[in-house]
C-alpha cells in the first residue's frame, strides 16, 4: 500500500515536470528557438520506455475486456472461495423435539439452538413431522428429549437419555452428533456429580495468530491474479498488435526490444499491483483477512513475482504470430500452474513425488513466499529458497523471451 502511495506521488511529480518542459518548449517556440527535447542519449532511451509505459497503461484502462480480466475476474474467485471458507463450518440439519418440558430440558434445548453445529429446523415441532422430514431428506437426524428427561431421581440428581434417530444413510452424522452431545452433557453432569478422571485429554492451540482457513487460501488467489496479470496480458495483446501491423511499424523506429519489454514490465507491474491491492482490500473488509507480515515486504515480493510470470507472457506473446498459435501453448503452460502450484488446491494433498516436482514450477515460490509473508510475518531474508528458484526462472524465461520475440 505504501508503494502505491509513493507511485502516485512519483507519477504526479513526473506529470508536473512534463508540464514545465512543455511550457518551456512553448516559450522557446515563440522566440524561434529549437524546441526539440535536449536530453542525453541514455535519458532519451529511458524517456522512450516511459512513453510506451504510459501507452500500455492507457490501453489497459481503455479496454473493458482487459479491465474485467485484470480486476473483476480475480475478485469473482475471491468471492467464491471466501464464501466457501466462511460457510465451511460443519453443520447438521436437525429436528429437535422436546417432550420433557422440564427446566433442565429447556436449558439443554437452548444450548443446542445456540450451537452453530446444530442447524435446527424451526418448522418441525412433533415427532411425526420430524420422521416425515427425514424421509424426504430435509433433515439429517432427529434429537428427542423424551418425557422425564431432566427429572430428579431418588438421589435428587437430574437424569434421562436424549434419543438420536437417524436413517442408515446418515449413520456417520449421528455418531458425530452423539459425540458432541456427550461432551455437552458431561459438562452438565459435572455440576451434579464430581468425578476426578485419572486420564485426561487437554488441548493446546499452536496457531498463535488465530488465522483461519481463508487466510491461508487467500495467497493462492493472489497467485491466480499474478498469473493473470503476467501471462494473459501479453499473450492476448501482442498477437493482436502483430495482426494490426503495429509492431512491424515500431520495428522501423529506433525502438529496441529491451525498451519495449521494460515498458510492458512497468505497465503490468502497476496494473497487477492495483489488482492485488483491490483484492487485499476486499478480503480485509469483507472476509476479515488477517495479515501478519508488513505490506512493504509483500509489495516488493509481489512485484518480483509479477515480473517473473510476465516473462512467460512476453515469451508466448512475442513468439506467436496470431491468437491460434498462442492459445494452445498458453493453456499447456497456464493450466498446470493453476492446478499444481497451490492456486486452488493445497499441494500437501498431492503425492510426495508430485510435490517435489511442483516445488520448481515458476508460480510455486511466488505463492509460497506470499503465504509466508502474509501468515508468518517472514522477511525477504527468510525467503532464500523461494527467491533462488525465482531468480533462476527469471534468467530462463527472459532469455527465451528475447530469443523468440518477433516483430511480425
Q: Among 103, 99, 223, 215, which Cα is nearest to 162's?
A: 99
Same structural domain, 293 and 397:
yes
- The verdict on residue 252 lying in a domain is yes
Q: What is the mean pLDDT of residues 309-318?
A: 83
Using a pLDDT cut of 90, give the percent of the chain over it. 3
- The verdict on residue 180 lying in a domain is yes
Cell numbers describing residue 56: 500500455
Domain encompassing residue 101: 92-189
Buried b (16+ CB within 10 A) or exposed e, 348-363: eebeeeeeeebeebbb
Same structural domain, 221 and 358:
yes
Report which of residues 17 and 339 the model is more confident about. Answer: 339
- The verdict on residue 197 lying in a domain is no
Domain containing 157 — which CATH number?
3.40.1710.10
Same structural domain, 167 and 117:
yes
Same structural domain, 174 and 248:
no
Same structural domain, 162 and 242:
no
C-alpha distances (whole Å) from 4 to each of 244, 251, 269 are 34, 33, 11
Same structural domain, 56 and 121:
no
- The verdict on residue 275 lying in a domain is yes
Same structural domain, 239 and 284:
yes
DSSP 149: T
Same structural domain, 214 and 152:
no
Residues 215-273: tens digit of each pLDDT = 777 888 888 888 877 777 777 777 777 777 777 777 777 777 777 777 777 877 788 88
- Provide the number of structural domains found in the chain: 2
Task: Judge whether residue 33 has pLDDT over 50.
Answer: no
**Burial class of residue 134, CB neighbours in 10 A (0-12, 13-18, 19+):** buried
Residues 316-350: tens digit of each pLDDT = 877 877 777 777 777 788 888 888 887 877 777 78
d(CA 345, CA 156): 55
- The verdict on residue 182 lying in a domain is yes
Domain boundary (154, 189, 224) is at: 189
Q: Specify the pLDDT at position 241.
A: 73
pLDDT band at 19; cut points 50, 70, 90: low
Report which of residues 195 and 87 the model is more confident about. Answer: 195
- The verdict on residue 364 lying in a domain is yes
Which residue is associated with the grid cell 513468439? 319
pTM for the model: 0.64
Q: What is the mean pLDDT of the chain?
A: 76
Same structural domain, 245 and 173:
no
Same structural domain, 389 and 243:
yes
Amino acid at each position: 500500500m505504501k508503494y502505491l502511495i509513493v507511485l502516485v506521488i512519483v507519477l504526479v511529480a513526473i506529470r508536473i515536470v512534463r508540464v514545465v518542459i512543455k511550457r518551456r518548449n512553448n516559450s522557446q517556440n515563440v522566440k524561434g528557438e529549437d524546441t526539440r527535447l535536449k536530453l542525453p542519449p541514455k535519458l532519451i532511451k529511458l524517456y522512450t520506455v516511459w512513453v510506451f509505459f504510459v501507452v500500455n497503461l492507457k490501453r489497459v484502462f481503455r479496454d473493458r475486456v482487459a479491465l474485467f480480466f485484470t480486476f473483476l475476474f480475480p475478485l469473482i474467485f475471491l468471492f467464491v472461495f471466501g464464501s466457501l471458507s466462511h460457510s465451511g463450518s460443519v453443520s447438521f440439519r436437525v429436528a429437535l423435539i422436546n417432550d420433557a418440558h422440564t427446566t433442565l430440558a429447556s436449558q439443554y434445548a437452548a444450548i443446542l439452538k445456540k450451537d452453530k453445529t446444530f442447524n435446527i429446523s424451526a418448522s418441525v415441532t412433533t415427532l411425526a413431522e420430524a420422521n416425515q422430514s427425514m424421509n424426504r431428506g430435509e433433515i439429517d437426524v432427529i434429537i428427542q428429549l423424551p418425557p422425564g428427561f431432566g427429572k430428579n431421581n431418588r438421589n435428587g440428581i437430574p437424569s434421562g437419555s436424549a434419543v438420536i434417530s437417524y436413517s442408515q444413510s446418515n449413520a456417520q452424522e449421528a455418531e458425530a452428533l452423539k459425540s458432541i452431545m456427550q461432551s455437552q452433557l458431561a459438562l452438565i453432569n459435572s455440576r451434579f456429580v464430581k468425578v476426578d478422571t485419572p486420564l485426561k485429554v487437554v488441548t493446546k492451540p499452536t496457531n498463535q495468530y488465530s488465522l483461519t482457513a481463508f487466510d491461508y487460501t487467500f495467497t493462492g488467489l493472489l497467485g491466480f491474479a499474478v498469473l493473470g496479470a503476467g501471462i494473459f496480458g501479453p499473450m492476448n495483446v501482442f498477437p493482436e498488435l502483430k495482426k494490426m501491423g503495429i509492431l512491424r511499424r515500431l520495428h522501423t523506429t529506433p525502438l529496441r526490444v529491451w525498451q519495449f519489454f521494460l515498458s510492458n514490465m512497468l505497465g503490468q507491474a502497476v496494473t497487477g499491483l492495483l489488482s492485488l491491492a483491490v483484492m487485499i482490500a476486499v478480503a480485509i473488509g469483507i472476509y476479515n483477512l488477517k495479515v501478519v507480515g508488513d505490506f512493504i515486504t509483500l509489495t516488493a515480493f509481489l512485484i518480483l513475482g509479477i515480473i517473473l510470470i510476465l516473462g512467460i507472457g512476453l515469451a508466448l506473446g512475442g513468439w506467436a504470430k496470431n491468437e491460434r498459435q498462442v492459445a494452445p501453448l498458453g493453456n499447456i503452460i497456464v493450466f498446470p500452474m493453476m492446478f499444481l502450484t497451490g492456486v486452488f488446491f493445497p499441494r500437501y494433498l498431492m503425492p510426495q513425488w508430485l510435490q517435489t516436482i511442483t516445488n520448481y514450477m515458476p508460480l510455486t515460490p511466488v505463492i509460497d513466499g506470499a503465504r509466508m509473508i502474509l501468515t508468518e510475518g517472514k522477511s525477504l531474508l527468510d525467503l532464500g529458497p523461494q527467491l533462488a528458484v525465482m531468480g533462476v526462472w527469471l534468467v530462463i524465461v527472459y532469455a527465451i523471451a528475447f530469443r523468440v520475440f518477433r516483430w511480425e
